[in-house]
Structure 1
């Protein structure tokens, strides 16, 4: 598998990003769909709406969020499973950059998704 990077969706695109893939369930604020700076939107690999709302990007919930999101990814059903397969296929072709609108660069679902794809615990 090639390199998988994680960036904020608001970071400017760079030549070395490879395929840029938005992995948030919600469309990021302030970005027009016509000028979206990414190649693909895979909202089905994002945490479920209930998990996203529960977490609310609260650092105190980070440990539990990791376990719950990993469980969702491991139990992925049709759409999510297809999205994960697509991410793995794209990563085999070359570098991909997972994009998230989360302010916290270290504690967000894209970081966990990257680790999951690479077979690591974060």
Structure 2
């Protein structure tokens, strides 16, 4: 299984990123496909529109958002599919646009992927 890294889409791509997978449902503002240099855009591993909207409006705590998002990932099988796609890669960078690098869906997704791969 690949080593999993997190990287904002606004940071310069690097060969050390390995597979670059955008894990947001919406395309990031101001970023061209050429600049993003993605290997995959996996919308299926992003939170549902309803959950993402609730989180951004402040209707749910991060703890509740995380629990609901984990449940969505478990029900959809999207995280397992992503791991299968990236199985032979030594490193996979989860690319995201969120400003807060500590409290966002990518932190939760990375934890789920690491748990599934162990």
TM range (shorter): 0.7 to 0.9
Number of the residue aligned with 2:5: 5
Q: Is the 8 Å Cα contact of residues 19 and 39 (structure 2) preserved in structure 1?
A: yes
Task: Structure 2 unaligned segments of length 5 or more: list them.
Answer: none
* Aligned pairs, number: 114
Query: How far is 1:31 from its partner?
Result: 1.0
> SS where residue 101 of structure 2 aligns?
coil
* CA distance in structure 2 between the partners assigned to 1:49 and 1:34 by the alignment: 26
* CA distance in structure 2 between the partners assigned to 1:38 and 1:57 by the alignment: 29
Instruction: Confirm or deny that 1:87 pairs with 2:82.
Output: yes
Number of the residue aligned with 1:62: 62
Query: How far is 1:35 from its partner?
Result: 3.9
Task: Structure 1 unaligned segments of length 5 or more: list them.
Answer: none
> SS where residue 61 of structure 2 aligns?
helix
Q: 1:13 to 1:33 in 2, by over 3 A?
A: closer
> SS where residue 93 of structure 1 aligns?
coil
Q: Is the 8 Å Cα contact of residues 3 and 92 (structure 2) preserved in structure 1?
A: yes
Query: How far is 1:23 from its partner?
Result: 0.2
* Alignment RMSD (CA, Å): 1.9
Instruction: Confirm or deny that 1:27 pairs with 2:22.
Output: no
Name the TM-score, length of structure 2 as normaliser.
0.87
